[in-house]
Structure 1
Amino acid sequence: MPQHPRRLLRGTALLCALALGAAACGSGDDTADRKQVSRAAIDAALKKGGTVTVWAWEPTLKQVAADFEKQHPGVDVKLVNSGTNVDAYTALQNAIAAKKGVPDVAQIEYYALGQYALTKGVTDLKAFGADKLAKSYSPGPWNAVQANGGIYGLPMDSGPMALFYNKKVFDKHDIEVPTTWDGYLDAARKLHKADPKTYITSDSGDAGQTTSLLWQAGARPYEVDGTDVGIDFGDAGAKKYTDTWQQLIDEKLVATSITPWSDDWYKALGDGTIATLPSGAWMPANFATGVEEAAGDWRAAPLPQWREGEKASAENGGSSLALPELGRNKELAYAFVEYANSGDGVRTRIENGAFPATTKDLNAKKFQETAFPYFGGQKANKIFAESAARVRDDWQYLPFQVYANSVFNDTVGKAYVSGTSLAQGLKAWQDASVKYGKEQGFTLR
């Protein structure tokens, strides 16, 4: 559940992980040939006990670790916050390169997991029977932890998208909540005409939001088969997105000068300057803690559709727990990951504010009937659970997505501050990503 801006990793911090000759960064073991680990072996490891070092920034894991230790007195879970994603990935890669101090478990976001899987920096969990959990998870997160026939993490949470909107502002101007993106554009025009200081949303250029909306629109810019990578932002889905979003920018209907997660952004959400926010289901906690003055004003609604009658959604954010290949105590480490992400730990995390990736919990009556005081008592989890079920599961990230996201503002971001169009910006992002991929030894098309 992100409660901070998604900071992006720049430069060469992950070059060791990305270079195709980087097998030396890992153990060199062929995880595809790893022998199956029996349940008896996992149970024996739990009985024997030992230390499991977990690098993660997710706050709900603290209680999960304590409960796991209580169930297994011989186990010591050493939970280490090595920083949020940018810091954590740098620290993890440094440890892998040095072959020293590598954790047994690491939190890795879905968009970043592929590069670790490709270079065998993390363990294929099929050997532990993880493939049997396929039906336990919603489609987006489960698809995200798979690569090249392997399973490289268990989904910890998910971010099915919804449209958060300020009901007070919409009611004041007698505007209906849009169900399509064309309707969203119309609502933006009406809002701005009624009050020039009100914007339908803020958008100063964000790689995560852009890729999520492209995902929902049916764009599939990335095709990845091992080291063979295709990048193309010119399909019909991308055109749907750029046609609509370009009008929002050109007509100055979005606040392009307000940066997400900044003090100005929180203030604008609180005073009605920003009227909607398309985001992941983890967002309610951020409203409750960061926009307290607007409690009762906001609600959640299904994400607008690109075509009337369509029922499509996308993920925005989310993380897995993976086992670094150089980590120790793998049976014990997997037991913890399984407990945290598919066992009793899931409910503990939900109770502490996390949004689950497990279908059993998403469909539970208690979960869906939970009232959100911040949203005026709305049972918003019903909307989020429906969104999770509608996520198209054929999306792929680049095996160097962390780098690609880091140059987003240098390419697509120019459309928000200059005469560059979004279509031109996406083409520039494509070209920059292709150039970098070739430099790292990938086959690009």
Structure 2
Amino acid sequence: MQRSTKRRAIRSAAVVGTLALALTACSSGSSSDTASSAAAFDENTEYNITVWAWEPTIQQDTDVISAFEEAYPNINVTVTNVGGTSDTYTALSNALQAGTGIPDVAQIEYYALPQYAIGNNLTDLTQFGAADLEDDYTTGPWNAVNQTTNTGDSGIYALPVDSGPMALFYNEATFEAAGIDTAPTTWEEFYEDAVKIHALGDDYYITSDSGNDAGFLTSIMWQLYPDAFQVDGSNITVDFTGEAFQEFVSIWQKLIDEDLISTSITGWSDEWFKGLGDGTLASLPTGAWMPANLLGSSPAASGDFRVALMPSIDGTAVNAENGGSSLALLSAADSSNAAAAYKFVEFVSNGDGATLRVQGGNFPSLQSTLDDADFQASTGDYAAEDLLTYFGGQEYNALLAEGAEDVNSGWSYLPFQVAANSMFADTVGQAYNGSGTTLAQGLSDWAQAIADYGNEQGYTVTVVE
């Protein structure tokens, strides 16, 4: 996902209370009820659908909306940007609780989908033929939109609109100045490179991590131990004991203890982009949606940045997703609009809108786009000379597409992941602020906080120590 808006850490008390509504709101009207009552699409009927989205290519006056309304002249689309991701979820949960002002379509990140699907708040798209699209998408995004409600109804509760297979974005000029010829292929090599880069000066770091956002560490769990969250109906197991993940935790703890990563620079801040631009923050392990953000916010590094596959414990090519989002139909919205709303979702996810969005800088979830020679070379329909220049002529999309093929299978988000993530900064995040808390202790505290919250919501949560 291209993050032109900043995803900020959601603080605990207020957000946990608000997002808990998503687990219970509208449970009286299930997605199956909406599915059975959705009227068939009629090209002679005029429809007015509402969409809540934050992503720049899905806004009112964009090529995507214009192209859709040209293709479907009987469907009028009103897009509202209610804010960033956390603002969207708060507003969505409030609307569901109130039972009014509910949009037909909402953009929801993959990690947040379970929290809305579990309460029967989303419409199963199988009735519209969504199951036939399975082979069109890469594994991670497709698995993410397949969910199960608290009444045991399994289905396809959204369609992917982008993806975020991870990669290591690194400043080749800074690496070379530190005597490093190639990007690290293991996390131990990443540590060794961090020592060399910090030797360039006290303000040089291989990367930054302030511990305020769960996204990075949960992606590392996905990469190295995808069984961290095991969900079986209402029974949940939280297990952070995987050997490879624990090796990573030990390495990351050394990086913190030896002041080899910046723990004071917050992601998406002006200082962060400045460090990425001047090379003092030498790399960034993150999702494949990052290139346009670097180009727009760290232009001084043009020509210096390169892309490498993610490091792993033993150098094996294994990866995870970081970010990415979907479009879902709200089950409590006007069911007479559902078929038209699905036409919009399919157009943006799998039709001409998907191509327009990639041309606008988004990273695709469609396998055919990832395999496209023009996409991989940033030529033809996907020409991006400015980004090719930024990455020194490297065909960076080819490598990002390779990373998408390496995404580990078997990962599950919690059915209340949004609430769980809001507890991260107050538990794991304490290991970054000099409080004396270790990452191991912070992870243990987070696991217990997750268990306490889940048990309060009616789940049976077991923590593996």
- Shorter chain as normaliser: what TM range? over 0.9
Deviations along 1:294-353, one digit per CA (max 9) or x if unpaired, are 211111111112213x11111000100000001220000011101110111110111111
Alignment correspondent of 1:322 = 328
| 1:219/1:236 contact within 8 Å kept | no
1:333 to 341, 349, 363: 341
Is 1:142 the counterpart of 2:145? The answer is no
- What is the rounded CA distance, in whole Å, between the counterparts of 1:76 and 1:33 in structure 2? 21
SS class of match (1:202): coil
- What is the rounded CA distance, in whole Å, between the counterparts of 2:120 and 2:232 in structure 1? 15
CA RMSD of aligned residues (A): 1.7
Deviations along 1:357-378, one digit per CA (max 9) or x if unpaired, are 0101111111001152211222
The one-letter code matched in structure 1 to 2:110 is Y
1:202 Cα shift? 0.5
TM-score (norm 1): 0.94
Change (3 A) 1:48 1:170: same
- What is the rounded CA distance, in whole Å, between the counterparts of 1:305 and 1:382 in structure 2? 20
Structure 2 gaps, min length 5: 149-153, 379-384
Alignment correspondent of 1:92 = 92
| 1:26/1:326 contact within 8 Å kept | no
SS class of match (1:158): coil
SS class of match (2:17): coil
- What is the rounded CA distance, in whole Å, between the counterparts of 1:158 and 1:251 in structure 2? 34
- What is the rounded CA distance, in whole Å, between the counterparts of 1:407 and 1:307 in structure 2? 31
SS class of match (1:259): coil
1:26 Cα shift? 4.2
- What is the rounded CA distance, in whole Å, between the counterparts of 1:355 and 1:407 in structure 2? 29
Alignment correspondent of 1:266 = 273
- What is the rounded CA distance, in whole Å, between the counterparts of 1:237 and 1:49 in structure 2? 55
- What is the rounded CA distance, in whole Å, between the counterparts of 1:237 and 1:335 in structure 2? 43
Alignment correspondent of 2:375 = 367
2:354 to 335, 340, 346: 346
SS class of match (2:199): helix
Is 1:171 the counterpart of 2:168? The answer is no
- What is the rounded CA distance, in whole Å, between the counterparts of 1:203 and 1:118 in structure 2? 32
Most deviating of 168-177 and 391-400? 168-177
SS class of match (1:113): helix
Q: How does 1:21-420 map to 2 (within 5 A)?
A: 22=24, 25-29=26-30, 31=32, 34-35=35-36, 41-42=40-41, 44=42, 46-61=43-58, 62-148=62-148, 149-176=154-181, 177-205=183-211, 206-308=213-315, 310-328=316-334, 329-370=337-378, 372-417=388-433, 418-420=435-437
Structure 1 gaps, min length 5: none
- What is the rounded CA distance, in whole Å, between the counterparts of 2:349 and 2:263 in structure 1? 37
TM-score (norm 2): 0.90
1:71 Cα shift? 1.3
- What is the rounded CA distance, in whole Å, between the counterparts of 1:37 and 1:384 in structure 2? 39
Runs (4 or more) in structure 1 with deviation over 3 Å come to 32-38
Identity %: 48
The one-letter code matched in structure 2 to 1:297 is D
- What is the rounded CA distance, in whole Å, between the counterparts of 1:325 and 1:216 in structure 2? 33
Alignment correspondent of 2:382 = none
- What is the rounded CA distance, in whole Å, between the counterparts of 1:73 and 1:397 in structure 2? 38
Alignment correspondent of 2:151 = none
SS class of match (2:426): helix
